[in-house]
Amino acid sequence: MDITYDTKVFIAGCGGMLGEAVYKRFVDSCNVLATDIDLNEPWLEYADVRDLDGMLRLVRQFDPDLIINLAALTDLEYCERNPDDAWQTNALGAENMALISQMLDVRHVYISTAGIFDGQQEFYNDFDEPNPLSIYGKAKYYGERTVEKMLSKYFIFRAGWMMGGCEKDKKFINKIFKQIIAGKNKLAVVDDKLGTPTYTYDFADSIFRIMQFDYYGIYNMTCKGSCSRYDVAMEFLSAIGMDDKVTIEVVDSDYFSKEYFAPRPHSEKLVSMKLDARNIYYMRDWKQCLNEYSQHFKQVLKEQAVLEV
């Protein structure tokens, strides 16, 4: 599929940290309609993946060549507390968007997660059998199976530990940074959770580039390399020049058991075997990506220092 200015791309759930990156990557090269239930950007139009009739009307009116479904509730604790909402958004929403792609015969992209695995292995390739532990993981895995069952022209991309989005970042990096901004000089970080970081901007660029091919299927798609949460925190502190001002206390996951009670795999390390074998593995090393991303936070620190003066 050649993506041109005439190519119409419909994006659902485009208001989050990944949506920002996907929108920016596609909007200069094709005709994009970006939607979300949270209209936090002027370029977003309201659409809810849980509302099949409303979504179908909007998609039909736009008449896209490609549908990208980014819509998901990704807060694991919220999903455990609100399972009906999690299933309706992450599972039914995925089914609704797949059904629309099926009805309109449109290529489809669905974003999945390393959280569909149980963590009993250290590494998981594209062919390993999922066994999700959490409501979030179970609902996302249902989405995977539904897309695979209903469609032939689909891409499923499994992400790892997401980083990117700056102010929209609701994940580990921004949580660490908010503590630093709040004045904490000692951070508690676990070293018993393993994974593969995934930079939103590389991920979005990879989706765009892979769309040039018809290599349909399921793909693990993360940055190169793997690490622990502790490794990420240490690399981040170094990148923003705070490694001599902030120390890290290594703890295990039980330390955060009340705050983060949703079951999480010990290891979420994904191996992007299929992308590599097909010469379409465009993600960079996680440390390179984290250092690039960290420049935003480094600038914020400089601005804070100026304000304090």
What is the CATH classification number for the domain harbouring 216?
3.40.50.720
State both tokens at 304. 């804070």
Q: Which domain holds residue 135?
A: 8-166+196-224+268-284
| Alpha helices (runs of H) in the chain, residue ranges in sequence order | 17-27, 52-62, 76-81, 83-86, 93-104, 135-150, 172-181, 200-210, 229-239, 273-277, 286-308
> CA 120 → CA 124, 190, 294, distances in Å?
10, 18, 32
CB–CB of 76/136 below 8 Å? yes
> CA 38 → CA 13, 27, 188, distances in Å?
9, 19, 32
Which pLDDT does position 305 carry in this prediction?
65
Length of the chain: 309
In a domain, 237, yes or no: no
State both tokens at 118. 């149980």
DSSP H helix total and E strand total for the chain: 11, 15
In a domain, 272, yes or no: yes
In a domain, 30, yes or no: yes
Q: How many other C-beta atoms are found inside a 10 Å radius of the C-beta of residue 2?
A: 7
CA distance 196 to 18: 16
Which pLDDT does position 302 carry in this prediction?
82
One digit per residue, pLDDT tens: the chain, 309 residues?
A: 777 778 999 999 999 999 999 999 999 999 999 999 999 999 999 999 999 999 999 999 999 999 999 999 999 999 999 999 999 999 999 999 999 999 999 999 999 999 999 999 999 999 999 999 999 999 999 999 999 999 999 999 999 999 998 788 788 888 999 999 888 889 999 999 999 999 999 999 999 999 999 999 999 999 999 999 999 999 999 999 988 889 999 998 888 888 888 999 999 999 999 999 999 999 999 999 999 999 999 888 888 763 343
In a domain, 216, yes or no: yes
Which pLDDT does position 273 carry in this prediction?
97
Which pLDDT does position 307 carry in this prediction?
38
In a domain, 48, yes or no: yes
In a domain, 302, yes or no: no
CA distance 269 to 222: 9
- CA proximity to 208, closest of 13, 32, 15: 32
CA distance 158 to 114: 6
- CA proximity to 117, closest of 98, 136, 91, 99: 136
pTM: 0.93
Q: How many domains does the chain have?
A: 1
**Dihedral of alpha carbons 43, 45, 50, 52, sign:** negative
List CB contacts of 295: < 8 A, sequence separation 6 or more: 239
State both tokens at 226. 């793997």
Which pLDDT does position 167 carry in this prediction?
81
In a domain, 49, yes or no: yes
Which pLDDT does position 306 carry in this prediction?
37
CA distance 301 to 212: 39
